[in-house]
Amino acid sequence: MKIGIIGKTSIEKTFELVSALSKWLEDRGVEVYLDKPLAKRSPVGKAAPAEKIPTLVDVILVFGGDGTFLGVARLASKHGTPILGINLGGLGFLTEITIDEIHPMMERILAGDYEVEDRHMLLTTIRRGRKRIGRHEVLNDVVISKQAVARIIDLAIYIDGSHVTTYKADGLIISTPTGSTAYSLSAGGPIVHPTLPVTILTPICPHTLTNRPLVVASDMKVEIAITTQEPDTYLTLDGQIGIQLNTGDVVEAVQSGTSVKLIKSPYRDFFTILKTKLMWGERYGKVNG
């Protein structure tokens, strides 16, 4: 078996954990490929660029948080390589495995005793007139917003060619079900089970209070026309890639034909993570008397 490891190198603990796990894996006959920055400080494992690792291995381990996972997910989705997220802090919605669970989980993976869940991605195309200026796949969300926070922008929304409304808002989040627990949730969007075939539109601080989040079928084409005359409108993809938009640009979003293969935690399901992260059922203080 071949296993790749990519991690967040700004956390010092990553190097210690990766080195120890690489040795543990090689002792069991596993071929280990490490992202180049990790390989520099590991006595075992083969060094490889992060973008090449999905083509070399059977499974990728991601050490870090959900942000680190998103970057690796976009690389792995092109090749169908399963990913396991290992969180170096608290539980994540994508990095479900804790540090204490690493070795028991690896035993399962080496034995082939694990489940993979497909998480669909959103294919986003940016058009300027008749020209396509960008095309990207995202796992979480696409955000259109202003650099100047105090200004409102105008965004005309079309679903399968039908005009729905024109949002006057600080921005708009177009989210996958996986991304429903990220930025969309903080903006008042609904929590959606990550396997449902839907796309979520959540306006950010809409000027018209009757403009509410909208959920549509994932095979519907969502188009957002930038009708605002104000400069400095930006498109942000998975919180990691930024593109400046002009008046008249159109952003198209529809479910991608590819997906991220996420190795599920056998220790907790989506609802357990949801309850833990959002502290449902917890009491925030005691009533005197």
Of 244, 214, 216, which is closest to residue 231 (Cα–Cα)? 244
Distance (Å, whole) CA 99 – CA 90: 10
Report the sign of the C-alpha dihedral through residues 66, 53, 46, 48, in that order.
negative
Does pLDDT of 152 surpass 80? Answer: yes
> What's the pLDDT tens digit per position in 155-167?
999 999 999 999 9
Distance (Å, whole) CA 61 – CA 108: 14
Burial of 219 (0-12, 13-18, 19+ CB in 10 A): exposed
Average confidence score pLDDT of the chain: 93
> What's the pLDDT tens digit per position in 236-280?
999 999 999 999 999 999 999 999 999 999 999 999 999 988 888
Q: Which positions ≥6 away from 102 have C-beta within 8 Å?
A: 17, 21, 86
| Domains along the sequence of the chain with CATH | 2-115+264-277 (3.40.50.10330), 121-258 (2.60.200.30)
Higher pLDDT, 90 or 49: 49
pLDDT average, residue stretch 92-106: 92
Measure Cα distances from 257 to 49, 113, 188 in Å.
25, 27, 28
Burial of 95 (0-12, 13-18, 19+ CB in 10 A): buried
Give helix 102-111 / helix 13-26 axis angle, nearest 10°: 30
Which residues are marked as active site?
66
Question: What is the model's pTM?
Answer: 0.91
Of 170, 225, 227, 231, which is closest to residue 202 (Cα–Cα)? 170
List residues bridging with 126 in a β-sheet: 134, 251
Of 264, 268, 260, 267, which is closest to residue 179 (Cα–Cα)? 260
Does pLDDT of 42 surpass 70? Answer: yes
**pLDDT tier at 82 (50, 70, 90 boundaries)?**
very high
| DSSP code at position 264 | P
Does pLDDT of 93 surpass 80? Answer: yes
- What ranges in the chain are assigned the alpha helix state H? 13-26, 36-39, 53-56, 66-76, 102-111, 183-186, 270-277
> What's the pLDDT tens digit per position in 203-225?
999 988 888 999 999 999 999 99
Beta strands across the sheet bearing 241-245: 214-217, 198-204, 171-175, 141-146, 233-237, 241-245
**pLDDT for the residue 209:** 82
With b meaning 16 or more CB within 10 Å and e meaning fewer, what string describes 236-267? bbbbeeebebeeebbbbbbbbebbbbbbebee
**pLDDT for the residue 283:** 65
**pLDDT tier at 150 (50, 70, 90 boundaries)?**
low
Does pLDDT of 288 surpass 70? Answer: no
> What's the pLDDT tens digit per position in 160-186?
999 999 999 999 999 999 999 999 999
**pLDDT for the residue 289:** 43
